[in-house]
Chains A and B, each alone.
Chain A
Amino acid sequence: SAVISQKPSRDICQRGTSLTIQCQVDSQVTMMFWYRQQPGQSLTLIATANQGSEATYESGFVIDKFPISRPNLTFSTLTVSNMSPEDSSIYLCSAPLNANTQYFGPGTRLTVL
């Protein structure tokens, strides 16, 4: 299976700042996905990033807070803007590397003080 990598693996940030998380897939994919896993919770889909068009956000998530870029078929970024402690989570990207399965990156553990 293909490899998905994320940077940074973890970060500690101050309230009010922004962090951009990068996701790289070692094969070309049309769709990439961004998830959040809050402490003790399940994985929640933030948005779907389709190359060449605007990201599609799930209910409860907005572009101003979580802007996404998708400049090519192997790369995407998620920015967590104007952070607050409630944004402390693991952020994960994924890609459907076959028709019926999604594979995940290792995650970015974000702590906001």
Chain B
Amino acid sequence: DQQVKQNSPSLSVQEGRISILNCDYTNSMFDYFLWYKKYPAEGPTFLISISSIKDKNEDGRFTVFLNKSAKHLSLHIVPSQPGDSAVYFCAALNRIRGYQKVTFGTGTKLQVIP
């Protein structure tokens, strides 16, 4: 049962344009949604999060949008830069018996073309 889904395994975008990475989830009990960036041979790096009670959070070039009725969130990167090329994981956090549990999507590989 894949509770967090990223249906696009890869995405290519021209430098300077907007990258939009999408994520769908099934569990309405998630408290927070997180985006991580992962380079090969490194651990995931936290990028940005959004509370389940918000619909938008912005941090520099990164904006996350949450549509709770559709159980959908997206990460917008604008303008995209070649250094943004990495695998992006969507993740959802809920608390079970007082501790965090984070469920990850399958990842989207972003390639930003110079």
Interface residues of A (CB under 8 A from B): 1, 4, 6, 30-31, 33, 41-45, 48, 50, 92, 94, 96, 100-107, 109
Contact = CB atoms under 8 A, between A and B. Distances in A.
Contact of A41 (B31, B51, B101, B106): B106
The B interface is mostly helix, strand or loop, or mixed, namely strand
Give the interface size class of chain B: 20 to 34
Contacts of B106: 41-42
B105 A45 contact: no
Given A42-B105, A42-B107, A101-B34, A96 B100 contact: yes
B43 A104 contact: yes
Interface string B57-92: 000000000000000000000000000000001000
A42 B89 contact: yes
B44 interface: yes
B18 interface: no
B44 A104 contact: yes
A31 B100 contact: yes
